[in-house]
Amino acid sequence: MADFDIEVLRLGHRVGRDPRITTHLALVSRAMGAKGFILSGDKDNKLFSNIRSVNDRFGHGLDCRYESQPMKLLRGINKSSTSEKPIIVHLTMYGEPFKKVVPNIPKNRPVIVVVGGAKVPSELFSISDYNIAVGNQPHSEVAALALFLDSWTEGEGFNRQYFDPQLIISPSKTGKDVHEVN
């Protein structure tokens, strides 16, 4: 089973506007290889409890936490000099093409993938190791994250491990094949 050291940081979550899209970011993170999801902006306990419920039913695979000072966190990572220093990947339509850049990202270090919200601080461009575009047109952070994760994990993110699931889905040609554990 594949095991990746990837965290996804969502900047600037707004409870009034973003719950669905941020939940989808967390679900894509969980389904495509990330082990952590960091929420910043508004606190959102409902979002965390939705992800806990998915973890409980389909297996634990994503830890969620709230970060009140995401730029401070990123500055700290940027300044750190340990060999375990995460690589900061910022997804932005202004960046370089992901298909060209992703093969150059080292695979032997953790990765923190930063996804913007309403307004992205310009400092983010300089403290990120990579500013990566999934096409140079504005679209969806969920689509950008999914394509990046698929590319970085070379499709293996889907084969990540889940622990203690209550339900296991088997691929089926004809309908729902769901097995209940105990």
**Strand, coil or helix: 94:** strand
Q: Does 115 bind ligand SAM (CB under 6 A)?
A: yes
Q: Does 133 bind ligand SAM (CB under 6 A)?
A: yes
CB 161 to ligand SAM: min, Å: 27
β-pairing verdict for 36-41 and 6-13? parallel
Q: Does 144 bind ligand SAM (CB under 6 A)?
A: yes
Choices 31-39, 40-48, 112-120, 164-172 (CB under 6 A): range interacting with ligand SAM:
112-120
What's the CA gap between 117 and 41, in Å, rounded? 9
Task: Report which DSSP code applies to 17.
Answer: T
What's the CA gap between 170 and 130, in Å, rounded? 37
Q: Does 9 bind ligand SAM (CB under 6 A)?
A: no
Question: Is the Cβ of residue 54 or residue 120 nearer to ligand SAM in the bound state?
Answer: 120
What are the helix (H) ranges across 81-137?
A: 98-101, 123-127
Binding site for ligand SAM (CB under 6 A): 91-93, 115-116, 119-120, 133-135, 137-139, 141, 144
